[in-house]
Every structure is written in structure tokens, then in C-alpha cells.
Amino acid sequence: MAKKKHGTEEAEKLEPAENGAEAGRKDTKPSAGQKIKNAFVKSWHKVRDWFVGAGRTVKGWFVKKKPAEEEVGPDGMRTILPNYNLTKKERFFRFCRSQSGWLFVLPAVILLCIFTLYPIGNAFVRAFMENYTPMNKRHPYDGWGFENFVRVLKGDTGMGGANFLQCLLNTFTITIISVPVSILLALLIAVALNSIKRVQKAYQTILFLPYLTNALAMGAVFATFFQIIGTRTEINEGVANLGLINDILGWFKIPPVDWLNPNMHAWGSGTVKFYWASYLAVIIYEVWSGLPFKILILFSALQSVNKQYYDAARIDGASRSKILWKITAPLISPMLSYLFITGIMGGMKQYSAIVGLFGPQMGMDYNMGTMVGYIYQYIDKGQTGYAFAGSLLLFLIIMAITGISNLVSRKRVTYT
Amino acid sequence: MKISIRHLTKAFPSRVKKGAPVIAVNDMNIEIPSGKLIGLLGPSGCGKSTTLFMLSGLESPTSGQILFDEQDVTTLAPERRGIGLVFQNYSLYPHMTVEQNIMFPLTNMRIPKIEAKAKALDAARLVQIEDLLARKPSELSGGQQQRVAIARALVKMPNVLLLDEPLSNLDARLRLQTREEIKRIQRETGITTVFVTHDQEEAMSICDIMVVMKLGFVQQIGEPQAIYDDPANLFVANFLGTPPINIFKGRIENGQAYIGDEAIRAVELEDQEIFVGIRPEGFIYDPEGALTLDVDHIEVMGRDKSVVSRHTSSTKPTVRSIIDSDVKLPADSGVMKFNVKPNKVFLFNANEERIL
């Protein structure tokens, strides 16, 4: 400590001498020892400036002795400029005090690091380990490379089960349809709710109830709506339980549809298949379960819209639908974009709905699987390398989609 | 367009259960000639804005009729009345540019876009905001927003322009400027304009016809100067004029109007209790005058001076009189005598507060 102090004192003495040396540089070259010393002093000053946060705006080196100044603005306002004429001790304590905010967030930061940042970083690293087997302590992986990604994208994992592209397509189709549809429905319901006066509170409560229900329980209820229980012959004889939806369709003489068994309705060919009946079941479920939260958000957004805009629009002769699309929707566009972005993000990560509807196998051997379902499948089978690769890909996809929707919404959304 | 308001009444249901309804406008009858600027004037809660909203069609009257040029529009929807309305806080659509805001009424009328743009530009020129068309309302000052609101109301060439306290959100200087602007625009377009305000100075300065209201009842209708010179009752006399009129308790005895023991004016009326209203400019300093005031202090205002004094019969704590600054007063305070100008003195019945 004492040694260091001595060093800095010397450095301070050096400063005026340095200027002199610069002036007479041509005549007397500084010795090698002096050069090293100067370089050391300069770098120390740089560090000191950075910590104190001063002198960075001043051209050249740190201005040392600067008396406290008062600046008088054009409007006569007096501003006392910060005084840099402080002792080192004072500076140190000031710095500590200015950084004390870190102390308050420290518990959260530590937990975040342990349970979020470390696992994410770990997953990023492990995704590039080939044939990673955590149980084998002596030889946990074969080497580094993109093998996991290649196999995941090719569907060549040697484990059977869902195809990555199939899962991607499932997730995409369900999300792209269910999110806009549910936002649209939620907007219409919220506008309707906003325009009624009498039993508004009661309706609000009823509409919000599904939000309090567990996703798996809801999935099980929906499964009974769609599920056909019985063999083919029983169906033909008309003794099977066709499920609520098929019963209703039966009233209109529509033959029963096997909603939850995607293989029966292969549409198209190749490894990637469309399963519209099953998609429809999932989309209906997703829209229904997503509605309450969206209605609540949009309803509260509508309540905060100044009613006079509607009066003005009526005077201007706008029709009801024009008021909805040209006045109401833009006025609550920040909330719509929030719902859209979080909806897309949630949709890309959906899992429980599929498990609730199709069971833990997610249809016939994971073919109704989603991206998260795909990842879980490989964690289940002990092939964590593929799971890591899959989650990294999912991460990139969600990030790209969020980025795009952010760009789009920046043009469309007006914050008032 | 001529507007006739006949027996117009608006009652709002009571907030309390089984309470009496609140009558905002009570049996209103006004004939508004075409191409005039009409001011609805009154303190807050007098029903002037309700009247305006009934004219616009946003509120429906409880009873009575509204006629535009002999056509009954009482139950007509707002968009079919051909009116333009400027709200108190302007209600510009925040997500649209100024041009889109002005064009919005036209797009609802299915006017081709090029034509609509040309009309919007014309309206913008009229209110002198043609260089602000690309901006959003949040990027405008209060005065500019107000101009946009007027342009939006004018762009569809309404038969009637309604302004709901259009100047109340502006600062004092801008208010003076904008009210002249409104007068100019109204003259240029010749649109019948109804204008709501609680500021009597504002109403007096720009209105062709002024309607003074109180608690849902019309008190007086007429030209501003006529109402000022000949108020129908104590309320109207009190409401108009700055500084306000001075009111004294008095009586009539033997053909003389008295304040205290001092005879002010000869009148041909029977003996009764009265209120005597004297406008501040109605006092003349005169050592032999009829009225004795105990002068408290004198405020010098340059062009004239304001004499603040006390009188035992005054209903207000002080009596304020405006004297020309050329007139020499004997002292800064103390008892002084004043004469009154007969045309600045009004006598009101003490019970009904009606003018005599």
C-alpha cells in the first residue's frame, strides 16, 4: 500500500516535468526507464479518470486542480459545476457510494446467475458437444462440432420420435393462426364488454375465470370434447362415445371426425404432414385459453381511452366499424402489439396444451409435438445433446420472430 | 343556416334513487339568425355545454325541438346534421397526422382522396397551419392544436359550427389572438357559429348575439352591448363587466331611490325595497355629490385609477369605482363624495331581483 502511494506521488511530481520534456523532446530524448515510468503513469491516470468519471470530457489528460465553479446560464440560472478538487479518500468514498445500488440488486443478480444465466450459457456450450453423455464421467463427449444441429435438422437422431421440422411446422401453424384469432376475438369481446353497462362486472368475472384454471385440466376437459372412445366397429355400429363436438356435428349430419388422432387425417405427403383436424382442436383450445387474459388487458386499455374521441368520430360521420379499426384499435395499439409479441413468444413455447389434449406421447409418437415437446422428448430419452441443440434453435427462432414483430410494431404503434 | 330552439329541456336522472331529476336546460327558446356568431354565456353548471351537445346531437333532449332551417333535427343522428364541433380539449386523433385528422370527416363521406387532400389544404390555409400538415398532434402547441380542431370541423363545410369553450386551454395572450381569429374565420366562411364560454369578456368581444344562462334558464338574449347597458336582472348585471358592478341595498321613498339616507336618483315607482347596481365607470368625483364613500385605497392602472372604498349598504365588502386618471382626487383615502351617471345605475326589485 505504502509503496503504491509513493509511486503515485512520484507520478504527480512528474506531470509538469512531462510537459517540459515534450517541449524539449528534440534535444534530449527520455531514457528507457523514464519512458516506462511515463507509460505507467499515463495508464494509471487513465484508470483513475475512468473510475472517478471525470476528465473524460476534458481534452487531453485529467485536469487536476480545478476550483469549484459556478456557471451562469443565459436565463440567469446558477449551476454549481462538480468539484474535482477532492482528496483520493473522498473520491474513493464517493465512488463507493455512487455504486451502492449494486448492493441492493445483488441477491436477485446472484439467483439470476445461478438459475438462469448459468444454465443458458451451459446449454449453449453443451449444444456443441458431440455425443454428450453426462453419466459417463471419464468420457462425457466425443468432441466439438455442429453434429447435434445437423442431426436435429435432418431428423437423423436414431431415436425415432418426432421430426424437428414437423414440430417446428406444428408450432408455427398453431401459433400463427391462434394468436391473431384470439387477439381479434378478445378485441371484439372487450369492445362489446366496454359498451354494455348493467352487468359488466359479472361478465368480466365470468370471462376471466378460465385464466384461473390449470392448463392440463383444461386440456383434459377439451380432450373429452374431441376424443372418440371406441373401436372402428363400435363407431360403425353407432355405440361408441364420439365426444361432444362430434355429437353436435352429428345433428347437422356431418360424419364424425377423429380430431385427436392425426395419422387418420394425413393431408399431403412426405415427412412433413398437415393435420388440420388436430390443429383445429389445438387452435380452438389455444384461442379459448388465451382469451381471458387478452380480454382483461384490452378491456382495461379501452377503459382508459377518452370517450370524447368516439364523440368526435361520430360527429365526423365515421361508421361503427370505422371507429373500431381507425380510432379504437390505433388508440390501444401499444396493448395490441404487447399481446401479439407475448402471444407469439408464448405460442412458440407451448407444451402443456398438447400434453393435455394428446397425452404425454403428443399424438402418435410425438407427431403432434411442439418445439418444447421435442426438447422434453430428448431430455426424457437421455439424449441431452439434441435437447440443447433444439433449445438453441428455438431460442434463435423466437428471437428472430420477436425482432421482426418489434420492427413491424414500431411503424404501426403510436404511443400517446 | 337558421337555428330555432323551441321549448328545449334536458333532464338528467338523479344519482340518488328516487331523487328528483337534475334539469340542466329548462324550456329554452332561442331563434338564431343565419350567419351569426352566438355566444352561450354562463357560470359552470348553467347548461350551456348541454345545449351545445343537444345541438350537435350527442345528447338527446328530454323534450322540445331543434330546427335547422325549418327542418326538425331533434332526433337526427349527429353525422347527418351537417355540423362541425370543436371540443374543449380538441380531441384530435393522436395516431393521425394533422392532414389525416383534417381529412378524416371527408373520408367518411367517400370523397376521392385527391379532392379530400385539396379540401384539407384549403381548410388548413384558412386557419394558417398549412405548413404543419405532416406533424402529429403531440408535436403541436396548444394554439396549433386548436387550429387543427377548427380546420377538422370546417373541412366538410358544415351548416353550423359549434365550439365548446374553445379558448379555455390557451394562455391569456393566445386567447386574445385566437378569439379574433375565430371571429375572422366565422366572417370569412359565413357559417352560423355557436360558441360556449364562461368568460364574459370573451363572449362580449366576439359575439353578434349573446345568450346569458343560469341554472338551466335563459336570462337574457341580445347584442352584447345591449345586454350590458340594459341587464334584465341582477344576475346578468352582476355577471357582465370587469370589474363587476357594485350592488347596494336601497329603497324607494316618495319617488326617490335611496342608498342609506342618500337620494341617488328620482324615479316614478311605488315605495319598495330595492337593490341598486352602479357600474364602476358610473361614478363621478364631485365634492357636492350624492353618494358618500369611505375610500380605502386607490389603485393606479395608468389609463385610469381604481378607487376601492367601503359603504355600509354595499352587498360586497368593497365598492370599486373606475375614475379617469386626469381627475384629481383630494387624498389617497378618507371620506369622499361621488355623483353617479344615471345610465350606469340600475334598480332591481329586492324580491325577484328583476330590473325596474
Backbone angles phi, psi at A155, to 5 degrees: 75, 25
Which residues on A lie below 8 Å from B156 (Cβ)? 316-317
**A315: which 3 cell numbers?**
360527429
**Cell match 371426425: residue?**
A257
Let me know whether A184 and A140 are in one domain. no
Listed residues A111, A126, A145: the one ending a domain:
A145
* B285 interfacial to chain A (CB closer than 8 Å): no
Domain count, chain A: 2
Residues of chain B neighbouring A308 (CB-CB closer than 8 A): 87, 89, 91
Residue where a domain stops, chosen among A87, A119, A145 = A145
Same domain, A127 and A177: no
A329: nearest CA partner in chain B: B95
How confident is the model at residue A110, as a pLDDT?
Answer: 94
Residue A335 lies in a domain: yes
Both A217 and A245 in one domain: the answer is yes
SS3 A19: helix
Q: How far apart are CA B97 and CA B131, in angstroms?
A: 12
Residue of chain B with shortest Cα separation from A332? B95
Q: Which residue in A has a C-alpha nearest to residue B106's C-alpha?
A: A316
A164 and A288 part of one domain: yes
Nearest CA in chain A to B58: A311
The minimal CB distance from B58 to the residues A309, A314, A326 is found for: A314
Establish if B93 touches chain A: CB-CB under 8 angstroms. yes
Any domain includes A54: no
Same domain membership, residue A221 and residue A136: no
Tell me which chain A residues have a C-beta less than 8 angstroms from the C-beta of B93.
Answer: 309, 312, 327, 330-331
How far is the alpha carbon of B91 from chain A, nearest alpha carbon, in Å? 6
Query: Scanning every residue of chain A, which has its alpha carbon at the shortest distance from the alpha carbon of B104?
Result: A316
Query: What is the helix (H) or strand (E) element at residue A46, kind and residue range?
Result: helix A32-52
Across A77-81, B286-290, B294-298, the highest mean pLDDT is recorded for B294-298
Nearest C-alpha of chain A: how many angstroms from B81? 9
> Of the candidates A145, A177, A201, which is a domain's last residue?
A145
Rounded to whole angstroms, the Cα distance separating B208 from B186 reads 11
Kindly list the residues from chain A whose CB atom is less than 8 angstroms away from the CB atom of residue B83: 315
Amino acid identity at B122: D
Task: Provide CB contacts within 8 A for B81, sequence distance 6+.
Answer: B56, B57, B68, B73, B159, B160
Does one domain contain both A120 and A235?
Answer: no
| Residue contact B104–A316, C-beta within 8 A | yes
Name residues whose C-beta falls within 8 Å of residue A70's C-beta, 6 or more positions apart in sequence: A78, A79, A80, A81
Does B231 contact A at CB distance below 8 Å? no
Residues of B in contact with A306 (CB under 8 A): 91
What is the average per-residue pLDDT within B239-257? 86
10-residue mean pLDDT profile of chain A (416 residues): values are: 43 45 55 88 76 49 53 68 65 78 90 93 86 75 81 74 81 91 94 87 85 80 77 67 78 74 46 65 87 91 90 88 90 90 89 80 75 84 84 90 85 74
Dihedral, CA of residue A60, residue A65, residue A69 and residue A74, to nearest 10: -20
C-beta separation of A182 from A298 below 8 A: no
Q: Is residue A96 part of a domain?
A: no
Return the residue in A314, A316, A322, A332 with the most chain B beta carbons within 10 A, the one to mutate for interface testing.
A316
3-class SS of residue A80 = strand
Any A CB within 8 A of B85 CB: yes
Question: Is B87 an 8 Å CB contact of chain A?
Answer: yes
A190-216 confidence digits (pLDDT tens):
999 988 888 888 888 888 888 888 877
For chain A, list residues whose CB is within 8 angstroms of any CB belonging to chain B. Answer: 306, 308-309, 311-319, 322, 326-327, 330-331, 333, 414, 416
- Evaluate whether B195 touches B37 at the Cβ level (below 8 Å): yes
In whole angstroms, give the CA distance from residue A69 to residue A267.
79
CB within 8 Å: A414 and B95: yes
- Domain annotation for chain B: domains and CATH numbers: 3-234 (3.40.50.300), 246-349 (no CATH)
- Angstrom CA distances, A326 to A9, A298, A320, A321, B24, stand at 71, 16, 10, 8, 34
| Residue A256 CB partners (closer than 8 Å, separation 6+) | A228, A235, A242, A246, A249, A250
What is the rounded distance in angstroms from the CA atom of residue B118 to the CA atom of residue A295?
A: 41
A331 contacts in chain B (CB < 8 Å): 93-95
Rounded distance, CA A67 to CA A209, Å?
67
Same-domain pairing of A135 and A209: no
Residue range B71-126, pLDDT digits in tens: 888 888 888 888 889 988 888 998 899 999 999 999 888 888 999 999 899 888 88
Instruction: Quote the strand ranges of A188-230, DSSP E.
Output: none
Task: Tell me the CATH number at A211.
Answer: 1.10.3720.10
Sheet of B22-32: strands edge to edge?
B22-32, B3-12, B63-68, B71-72
Return the SS3 of B273.
strand
- What b/e string do you get for B226-236 counting C-beta neighbours within 10 Å, with b at 16 or more? ebbeebbbbbb
CB contact under 8 A, A315 and B56: yes
Most A CBs within 10 Å, among B85, B100, B108, B135, to test the A interface:
B108
Pseudo-torsion of CA B110, B112, B114, B115, nearest 10°? -70
Among candidates B85, B94, B95 on the partner chain, residue whose Cβ is nearest the Cβ of A315: B85
The answer to whether residue A288 sits within a structural domain is yes
A contacts of B145 (beta carbons < 8 Å): none
Alpha helices, DSSP H only, in A261-383? 276-303, 308-315, 320-322, 329-331, 333-348, 352-358, 371-380
How far apart CA A400 and CA B291 sit, in angstroms, is 88
Cell numbers given for B187: 366572417
Q: And the C-alpha cell for A375? A: 426438447
Residues of the domain holding A117 = 103-145
Q: Among A161, A158, A177, A179, which residue's Cα sits nearest to residue A169?
A: A177
Over range B300-312, report the average pLDDT. Answer: 86
Burial A304-324 (b: 16+ CB within 10 A, else e): eeeeebbbbbbbbbbeeebbe
Residue of B nearest to A316 (CA): B105
Pick the residue from chain A with its C-alpha nearest to B78.
A315
- Residue B91, chain A, CB below 8 Å: the answer is yes
Please judge whether B105 and A333 are an interchain contact, meaning their C-beta atoms are less than 8 angstroms apart: no
Partner-chain residue, chosen from B83, B95, B156, that has the shortest CB–CB distance to A330: B95
Contact B242, B280 (CB under 8 A): no
CA distance B205 to chain A (A): 28
DSSP-based three-state secondary structure for B324: strand
A158 shares a domain with A135: no
Smallest CA–CA separation between A412 and chain B, in Å? 9
Please tell me which of the candidates B85, B87, B138 has its beta carbon nearest to residue A416.
B138
Q: Which of B182, B177, B227 is nearest to B200 (CA)?
A: B227
Percent helix, strand and coil across chain B, each rounded to 5? 30, 35, 35
Percent of chain B with pLDDT over 70: 100
Q: What percent of chain B has pLDDT over 90?
A: 8
**Is any Cβ of chain A less than 8 angstroms from the Cβ of B79?**
yes
Q: What is the ipTM of this complex?
A: 0.81
Minimum distance, in Å, between the CA of residue B27 and any CA atom of chain A: 25
Nearest-by-CA chain A residue for B138: A416
How far is it, in rounded angstroms, from Cα B183 to Cα B190?
Answer: 10
Q: Which chain B residue has its CA at the smallest distance from A313's CA?
A: B105
Instruction: Say if residue A173 is in the same domain as residue A286.
Output: yes
Which residues 120-139 of chain B have a CB within 8 Å of chain A? 136, 138
Specify whether A137 is located in the same domain as A203: no
Same domain, A210 and A136: no
Mean pLDDT, chain B, rounded, equals: 87
User: Above 70 in pLDDT, residue B10?
Assistant: yes
Minimal CA separation from A327 to chain B, in Å:
7
Q: Do the domain assignments include residue A4?
A: no
Is the residue at A132 inside a domain?
Answer: yes
Can you tell me the mean pLDDT for B267-282? 86
A248 within domain boundaries: yes
Tell me whether B12 touches chain A (CB under 8 Å). Answer: no
Q: Which of A312, A414, A416 sits opposite B87 (nearest CB)?
A: A312
pLDDT of residue A270: 39
Contact yes or no for A290/A350 (Cβ under 8 A): no
The C-alpha torsion from B251 through B253 and B257 to B263, rounded to 10°, is -110
* C-alpha distance across the termini of chain B, in Å: 36
Which chain B residues have a beta carbon less than 8 Å from that of A326? Answer: 104
Residues A109 and A233 in one domain: no
**HSE of B69 in the Cβ direction (CA atoms, 13 Å)?**
8
User: How many A-B residue pairs are in contact by the CB < 8 A criterion?
Assistant: 59
Is residue A366 domain-resident?
Answer: yes
The alpha helices in chain B, defined as continuous H runs, are 48-56, 98-108, 113-126, 142-154, 172-189, 200-206, 224-229, 234-239
